[in-house]
Structure 1
Amino acid sequence: MPILQVEDLTIEVVRKNIRSLRLTVYAPDGRIRVAAPTRLSTASITQFVLDRQAWIRRHQAKFAARPQPAALRYESGEKHLYQGRSYELQVHSTAGRPRVELCEAEQRLGLYVPAESTAGQRQQVLATWYRAQLKDQLPALVAKWEPIVGAQAKTWAIKQMKTRWGTCNIQAKRIWLNLELIKQPLPCLEYVVVHELVHLHERLHNARFWGFMDQFMPDWRQHKAALNQVMLVPAGGDGC
């Protein structure tokens, strides 16, 4: 990806078939990306960034001030999220198939792995379980929201993403959801489902797009705000 240096700011530049410039500052590290029309001059992009320096630095400072998540070791006693609730991880040795057992009443996640398993292997077992939970829940959410939004995706899939909660390939009608959504409250997951479906009506985040969001999910703002407070940290290996 081409890099543009503007004073002390390092900018990733993505050329697209779009009509106007779009600027994004990503959590958690304040990475900056500009999406620019294909033929726009570098000088115009530079001036665009210079005009928005204060905005960029405010967002970078906000991300830098957030508490950094503790590194996970996948050991007993750690706290792990599932659908907005914190669960205590309990690691158990097993000679059988690795698995995860959820005990909602005690807010505990039982992780059953071989005694000699590494932190990376335990992480992968938990990530596989997270993926299965999200995959199991997705059909009901799609069946609920596609008729409301009046749009239908051809393909729904899950993957780990570093900077987005979801993406939509409008031409292929393919929607990807971030695996990390399984850690967030269910309404946040539903917000992303609706958000990506609305892109099948409107590609851009413009007044028409947000008007559709108001129509289909009037309380979308609170769910978007909740996700904006989350620092995306990979579970297994703004948002939309």
Structure 2
Amino acid sequence: MKKNNRINVCGRTINYEIVYSKKRKSAAILVRPDMKVEFRAPQCLSADTIQGMVERKAWWIFKKLEWFEENRLPDQKKQYCDGEVYLYLGRECPLRITSMNNIKKPLAFFQDSELKVEISENTSEDQLPFLVKEAVWNFYSKRAEEEVEKLLKIYSKKLGVDTPIFKVKYQKKRWGSCSAENVLRINFQLIMAPPKQLEYVVVHELCHVKEKNHSARFWKFVRELMPDYEKHRNSLKKDGWKYVL
């Protein structure tokens, strides 16, 4: 059960959402990066008691909100319009949309340091961003598939395993995964990253074919295949927020 509430402290307002849970035994305050404050409470806790707890933690909440405001990441949602900048293999490239005769299906490709999309001149303004997006996603997916296949052939041989089945797809919260059946899934948006970051994710997931957890043995396999993996792992953690289509 959820309930919205607010308090005024020192001339400032804190809006917070109370989330009750039957399983929770103690209370907790969560300040999220989207600037929302959530109070997680056992069902027995009254609204007045919760309000008092929020008031006592007000200074801490304000500090958290200020930090998230100062470190808020820019909105990466793409508009799919001409001139917009995209990342491709770690490089910034402008999007160039060209209207053409006799184009049945939009086509995206990389040429002369630009991400180009050819589209029918009969395309309406309302349809344009959706069709451009489809073309860009298809192009990025295909290129990611080509790169992943190439890397898997190289590293499977080095690891001494058969080249596993893999799928390149959109994953909202993960760069890659390896199933119990050794099917690898790689996020196609990694084609936006410098090649070594994609290479690290492929090596990481491939090593799960031999070791399903993140044990010392697992990281030994990763290091043997990619001695400088930590450098690329850290850069992916630092810059991964940019790889959004």
Q: Which residue of 2 aligns with 1:100?
A: 108
Identity of aligned residues (%): 27
Q: Which residue of 2 aligns with 1:225?
A: 234
Deviation at 1:178, TM superposition (A): 0.3
Deviation at 1:76, TM superposition (A): 1.2
Deviation at 1:125, TM superposition (A): 1.0
Contact 2:76 2:242 in 1 (8 A): no
Q: Which residue of 2 aligns with 1:130?
A: 140
Deviation at 1:208, TM superposition (A): 1.9
RMSD, matched Cα: 3.0
Deviation at 1:63, TM superposition (A): 10
Q: Which residue of 1 aligns with 2:9?
A: none
Q: Which residue of 1 aligns with 2:17?
A: none
SS at match of 1:126: helix
Take 1:179 and 1:63, find their aligned partners in 2: how far apart are those partners?
Answer: 30
Which residue of the other structure, out of 200, 213, 230, is the alignment partner of 2:222? 213
Larger relative contact order (CA 8 Å, sep ≥ 6): 1
Q: Which residue of 2 aligns with 1:65?
A: 71
Q: Which range moved further: 109-118 or 157-166?
A: 109-118
Contact 2:176 2:185 in 1 (8 A): yes
The 1:217–1:62 alpha-carbon spacing in structure 2 relative to 1, beyond 3 Å, is farther
Establish whether residue 113 from structure 1 lines up as the match of residue 119 from structure 2.
yes
SS at match of 1:74: coil
TM-score by length of 2: 0.67
Take 1:140 and 1:93, find their aligned partners in 2: how far apart are those partners?
Answer: 34
Deviations 1:111-144 (Å, cap 9, x if unpaired)? 1123323312211110011111112223221111
SS at match of 2:80: coil
Between structure 1 and structure 2, the one with the greater Rg is 2
Establish whether residue 192 from structure 1 lines up as the match of residue 201 from structure 2.
yes
Give the partner amino acid of 2:28. Answer: E
Structure 2 unaligned blocks of 5 or more: 1-20, 36-62
Take 1:99 and 1:77, find their aligned partners in 2: how far apart are those partners?
Answer: 17
Take 1:82 and 1:63, find their aligned partners in 2: how far apart are those partners?
Answer: 29
Deviations 1:58-106 (Å, cap 9, x if unpaired)? 9xx6798252234321111110011111111111112403111311xx4
Q: Which residue of 2 aligns with 1:81?
A: 87
Take 2:154 and 2:241, find their aligned partners in 1: how far apart are those partners?
Answer: 28
SS at match of 2:77: coil
How many residues of Structure 1 are paired with residues of Structure 2 in the alignment? Answer: 188
Deviation at 1:155, TM superposition (A): 1.0
Deviations 1:153-174 (Å, cap 9, x if unpaired)? 53111110111110001x3110
Deviation at 1:151, TM superposition (A): 2.7
The 1:234–1:67 alpha-carbon spacing in structure 2 relative to 1, beyond 3 Å, is closer
The 1:173–1:218 alpha-carbon spacing in structure 2 relative to 1, beyond 3 Å, is same
SS at match of 1:180: helix
Take 1:102 and 1:201, find their aligned partners in 2: how far apart are those partners?
Answer: 36
Deviation at 1:232, TM superposition (A): 6.4
Take 1:227 and 1:133, find their aligned partners in 2: how far apart are those partners?
Answer: 19
SS at match of 2:171: coil
Deviations 1:161-203 (Å, cap 9, x if unpaired)? 111110001x311000001111111111111111001111211
